[in-house]
Amino acid sequence: MSLTNASPEAAARAAKLGSRKLAVLPTQARNDALTAIHEALAKARDQVLAANAQDLAAATKSAESGELSQSLVKRLDLGKKGKYEDMLQGILDVRELEDPIGKVDVRTLLDDGLVLERWSAPIGVLLIIFEARPEVIANIASLAIKSGNAAILKGGKESTESFKVISTVISNALSSTAVPNDCLQLVTTRDAIQPLLQLDQYIDLVIPRGGNELVKSVKKSTQIPVLGHADGLCTAYLRADCPASVAARVIVDAKTSYPAACNSLETLLVDDVALTDLLPSVAEALLAKGVSLRCDAPSKTALSKVLDAHSAALLQDATEEDYRTEFLDLILAVKTVPQTSTPTAALDLAVAHINEHSSHHTDMILTADETIARKFQEAVDSAGVFWNTSTRMADGQRFGFGTEVGISTNKIHARGPVGLEGLTIYKWRIDGQGQISTEYKAGGKQWKHQKLPIATHERIAATDEELAVLRSFREGQSERRNGT
């Protein structure tokens, strides 16, 4: 890793050149580099935590004067119980994942002796812009090396001291491995973000890891593709046939287990036939956890009738704006889906509301009816469409990806939790024996376009009837092999 005060352009160019060396390293060489990083960071624990304490002291002072938020100070703290160990374990977890590079997923016989294959390959150079969390550096370094990508890391100034030490440790560790140091660039230069975002000749993908404002400002400033999500406005649609205990349990989890997370619940849609029997127990469970409920008129009226006076007094009125708001707090907007002629028509109204208002991150339906659930999952245009489980399940670790790069609300490339696979693209290989395009014109040779088993890797031989040029080509090969 280069801890660099070099210009953004020099850093990006070095990363690009390094990326091509990294891209051709075998699996074992990339895994060995992760082992080396893990060992070095385990040994350097005290040194890293001492630097982190410096960052933490400065941040605490800034927080006291109101410049920084308390939650940022918390995210900065690497010494918190188990956090350093989690960071170390994350490196090993990534190492143990299947190699995402060099996998063949398409294999087509175009013609005799002419085989097309699609191979997974690294994207190239990633630019990761992140805010306070210092563990991201180890996390991203692991994911980048495992997937054969170079990475340029630009962190928040609050964690400068931690980054300097971590990057020096990683740099020393890498020098004993086959991974070129240039493949990881930590840019400490101030005001480097804007110049980096202009370097589309070197950088292939930008991944902002931070709040909405960071993601939005990055998207506005670059022609490089951006992988990230700006908002997480998640919705639950509660049907009358969902058992009350399940409804309360799942909705409480989705709303309260981590209200500041992007996969937390922000809006509850409820069928009007569920207002009196089912909604009250859900509302009581939420109120007991300190959640403010912003209700439309039908749901407020129904709840007011059955809740005790104390609870009823806590209910608030929802505005239209509430259904477009990512609260990131213990607030839930509640909206009634009016009963219509058919149960499916109510579903359609709920789906239309979600497609119009949600941020297409993750939405869930709570129902005992599989047919309704399937229609919901098909019609809702979101990265995650969950049935009878919490929106909080939208997470790379829970999906089994190991560490996650982030969660994408993009509609192309990668959607939802993004793991190693989201850091890959593919190449098209063709192995031929001298075939040319004009042979396949109208009246000429016919394309075979036959799907081949992906596992078969022997080269497909041409038939005896093949064209003279193929024969001469093989003769040429064989003459050379025989040294004639």
Residues 213-242 that bind a second copy (CB under 8 A): 219-220, 223, 225, 227, 241-242
Residues 286-305, one symbol each (x = binds a second copy by CB under 8 A, - = not), give --------------------
CA distances from 333 to 237, 252, 291, 293, 298 (A): 12, 13, 10, 6, 13
Q: What is the DSSP string of 272-339?
A: GGGTTTTHHHHHHHHHHTT-EEEE-HHHHHHHHHHS-HHHHHH-EE--GGGGG----SSEEEEEEE--
Based on the shown chain and the rule CB under 8 A, indicate whether residue 331 belongs to the binding site for a second copy.
Answer: no
152 close to 196: Cβ distance less than 8 angstroms: yes
Selected range binding a second copy among 173-181, 265-273, 293-301, 475-483, rule: CB under 8 A: 475-483
Show contacts with a second copy in window 443-462 (CB under 8 A). 447, 449, 459
302 close to 265: Cβ distance less than 8 angstroms: no
Selected range binding a second copy among 160-168, 313-321, 322-330, 381-389, rule: CB under 8 A: 381-389
- Cβ-based neighbours of 9, under 8 Å, separated by 6 or more: 195, 199, 202
Based on the shown chain and the rule CB under 8 A, indicate whether residue 143 belongs to the binding site for a second copy.
Answer: no
Please compute, for residue 332, the number of CA atoms within 13 A of its CA located in the half-sphere on the CB side.
Answer: 33
Report the residue number, 243 or 338, with the smaller CB distance to a second copy. 243
Report the residue number, 304 or 377, with the smaller CB distance to a second copy. 377
Report the residue number, 45 or 474, with the smaller CB distance to a second copy. 474
- At position 177, the amino acid (one-letter code) is T
Q: Alpha-carbon distance 20 to 147, whole Å? A: 12
Residue position matching structure tokens 């092999």: 481
Report the residue number, 63 or 119, with the smaller CB distance to a second copy. 119
DSSP state of 99: P
Candidates 172, 377, 445, 452; binder of a second copy (CB under 8 A) is 377
Selected range binding a second copy among 89-97, 266-274, 329-337, 369-377, rule: CB under 8 A: 369-377
Based on the shown chain and the rule CB under 8 A, indicate whether residue 103 belongs to the binding site for a second copy.
Answer: no
Least gap, CB of 214 to a second copy (angstroms): 15
- At position 228, the amino acid (one-letter code) is G
Selected range binding a second copy among 158-166, 292-300, 318-326, 380-388, rule: CB under 8 A: 380-388
Please compute, for residue 38, the number of CA atoms within 13 A of its CA located in the half-sphere on the CB side.
Answer: 21
β-pairing, 234-238 vs 265-271, is parallel
212 close to 231: Cβ distance less than 8 angstroms: yes
Selected range binding a second copy among 27-35, 45-53, 295-303, 426-434, rule: CB under 8 A: 426-434
Candidates 29, 246, 330, 349; binder of a second copy (CB under 8 A) is 246
Least gap, CB of 200 to a second copy (angstroms): 9
Least gap, CB of 466 to a second copy (angstroms): 13
Residues 340-359, one symbol each (x = binds a second copy by CB under 8 A, - = not), give -----------x---x----
Show contacts with a second copy in window 250-269 (CB under 8 A). 250, 252-254, 257
Report the residue number, 131 or 241, with the smaller CB distance to a second copy. 241
The angle formed by the CA atoms of residues 37, 43 and 47, to the nearest 5 degrees, is: 105
Report the residue number, 7 or 245, with the smaller CB distance to a second copy. 245
